[in-house]
Amino acid sequence: MKTGWSRYYLYASYAAITTGFLVAFLLAPAAVSSVRAVLFVVCLLLVVFQGMLVFRNIRKLEADLARHQEAERMVHLGHWYWDIPTGDVTWSDEVYHIFRLDPETFVPQIDSIMSLSPWPDENKRDQEVIERAMKSRQTGAFEQRFLFPDGETGYYFSSFHGVYNADGTVRAVRGTVQDITERKKFAIQLSTIHQAIDNSLNAFDIIDEDGKFVYVNKAYVRMWGYESAEEILGTSPANHCADVNTPREIVHELKNTGECIREFTARRKDGSEFDVLMYARLDHDYQDREIYPTTAIDISERKRTESELSDYRNHLETLVKERTQALEMAQAELLKRERMEALGQLIATVSHELRNPLGTIRASLYVITERTRNKEIDVLRPIERADRSIERCVRIIDELLDYTRTRVLSRQITEMGTWLSATLEGFLIPEGIEVERDFASDIKICLDQVNVQRCLSNIWKNACDALLDDHGCHVGGGRARLAVSSRVEGDFFVIASRDNGCGIRDEDRDHLFEPLFSTKGFGVGLGLNMAADILSLLGGNIDVESAGNGETVVTIRIPMGDSVPIS
């Protein structure tokens, strides 16, 4: 009695017994009224008992049907039955609920059901599925989209099987319908997201907890230079990094913080390297295993741009610094010129005011010398010393005037060997100084003789002052020597003057070309500065070197211009 079939056998037994008693009651002799009464009572009791059983089972069947309908509603699953000979289709309540149709107004027929899915190709496909299932006597299934009454698209899944006659022909089709609209929408959205990720311009990959690739999109394949994703799946991301420790460091950070943003150098399949910016996060798959979804973009171009911008910025800073220095130098030069102009006016005034008294003093010394001549008054040496001091003052005045004078360049073809010899011969060299000469001959150049002679005079004057002390003796106690030589170096004619005097102190090297700087107890310190200015105007330069043995070499370089070798 625990199954439906047991209940059917029980109902049949009760019916048979009741019928037996009823027949016995009808066939019993009328005389035997007591027997008939007993049979009547027994029949009546059996009928009442059987009615109670039927009522109880009807209530149970109604409860089972209600539970079945509730279960159908919970899983959105309904059932249907198609009687092929009559064409009638029967739906359960849930089928109407799935399609959002009113059982009072909608009559399920083949045509009306097909109109719910106005896509002929899909309907044709479903009919073919049903026909194949009926022929093979197997359970069939298909998915179908349909339109709700409000025009929204829904989806259902139907499975079915045939009901056959004894001769094997199909008598009916019985099946189920399940609403899969939400699941289908989610699947479509998931497919759309998957396509968007797969076709994204940014690289995307997923790495499992074993450190192997389980997914890479097309951009990742292209960015790392592979032919297909199959070449990458199952391999380690360490093969794609210039530093094989990078993936391990990223995973360590993910386990600590849950996400990671990092720039690193990646390595392509062919071994070439590029820069990437990566974002990764810690997640879990459906089996609660750790996975690491990662997205990356190629920032090589950005890095190159940043490097170029940095170089350009540094270049601009250098240019600004150079321009600032040039401006400061120009401003300093302007101030210097202004001061020189003022100094020139002052020197001209002072020179004019000093020359007259010096001339008077010299004339007076001459008169004293003449009047004391042939007399026993020893004033000759003091007068000569005073005369030398007057001469020195005159030279200082000449230097000051020459320094402030505007220079005019005048070049002419000059045979340098002859000219240098004559210039050195014309220079007054104090007694006690040996002069050595080594001049390159047979060279003619365009030379500003006046200005270059002035340069050499200043250089040689400094050398002589460095060689002798106040008593006219060599400062080193040996032989005072001045060596002058010339040679050709590339496009320059070089004149070097070497002396073995007192040399140059280290603290004085940076001040050699400053105007009014002097280490001597006399002079105004304009010689080297004047020489540097003249050579700069000529396109040449001057260099001063001091050896450890006290020797000093002053080298000037003069552009040769259109030099003419002498044949």
pLDDT tens digits, residue range 110-159? 889 989 999 999 989 988 998 888 888 899 999 999 999 999 999 999 99
Alpha carbons 293 and 204: distance in angstroms, whole number: 7
- Are residues 122 and 144 in contact, defined by beta-carbon separation less than 8 angstroms? yes
Question: In the prediction, which pLDDT does 143 show?
Answer: 92
Question: In the prediction, which pLDDT does 213 show?
Answer: 95
Lowest mean pLDDT among 84-98, 280-294, 523-537: 523-537
Q: For strands 433-438 and 290-298, give the pairing.
A: unpaired
pLDDT reading at 38 higher than 70: no
Alpha carbons 318 and 324: distance in angstroms, whole number: 10
- Are residues 116 and 126 in contact, defined by beta-carbon separation less than 8 angstroms? no
Question: Which has more confidence, 293 or 75?
Answer: 293
Torsion angle in degrees (nearest 10) through CA of 519, 523, 528, 534: 170
Q: For strands 259-267 and 412-415, give the pairing.
A: unpaired
Give 516-528 pLDDT, tens digit per residue.
Answer: 556 665 555 666 7
Question: In the prediction, which pLDDT does 508 show?
Answer: 67
pLDDT reading at 65 higher than 70: no
Reading the block at residue 457, the tokens are 């005079």
pLDDT reading at 547 higher than 50: yes
Alpha carbons 496 and 365: distance in angstroms, whole number: 41
Lowest mean pLDDT among 148-152, 232-236, 292-296, 540-544: 540-544
pLDDT reading at 497 higher than 80: yes
Question: In the prediction, which pLDDT does 265 show?
Answer: 94
Question: In the prediction, which pLDDT does 471 show?
Answer: 58
Write down the mean pLDDT value for the chain.
80
Q: How long is the chain?
A: 567
- Are residues 266 and 275 in contact, defined by beta-carbon separation less than 8 angstroms? yes
**How many C-beta atoms lie closer than 10 Å to residue 389's C-beta?**
13
Question: In the prediction, which pLDDT does 563 show?
Answer: 46
Q: What is the mean pLDDT of residues 294-315?
A: 91
Question: In the prediction, which pLDDT does 39 show?
Answer: 59
pLDDT reading at 61 higher than 70: no
Question: In the prediction, which pLDDT does 564 show?
Answer: 41
Using alpha carbons, list the distances in angstroms from residue 113 to 144, 170, 173, 426: 12, 20, 15, 130
DSSP label at residue 474:
B
DSSP label at residue 108:
-
Lowest mean pLDDT among 29-33, 118-122, 466-470: 29-33
Q: What is the mean pLDDT of residues 304-311?
A: 90
Q: What is the mean pLDDT of residues 543-553?
A: 78
Structure-token match 């401003």, residue found: 331
Structure-token match 């059917």, residue found: 8
Q: Return the SS3 of 553.
A: strand
Lowest mean pLDDT among 70-79, 80-89, 265-274, 498-507: 70-79
Question: Which has more confidence, 448 or 382?
Answer: 448
Question: In the prediction, which pLDDT does 211 show?
Answer: 92
Alpha carbons 466 and 482: distance in angstroms, whole number: 10
**How many C-beta atoms lie closer than 10 Å to residue 364's C-beta?**
12
pLDDT reading at 19 higher than 80: no
Alpha carbons 168 and 190: distance in angstroms, whole number: 44
Reading the block at residue 563, the tokens are 């030099």
Q: What is the mean pLDDT of residues 365-382?
A: 69
Question: In the prediction, which pLDDT does 230 show?
Answer: 94
Q: What is the pTM of this model?
A: 0.46
Question: In the prediction, which pLDDT does 217 show?
Answer: 94
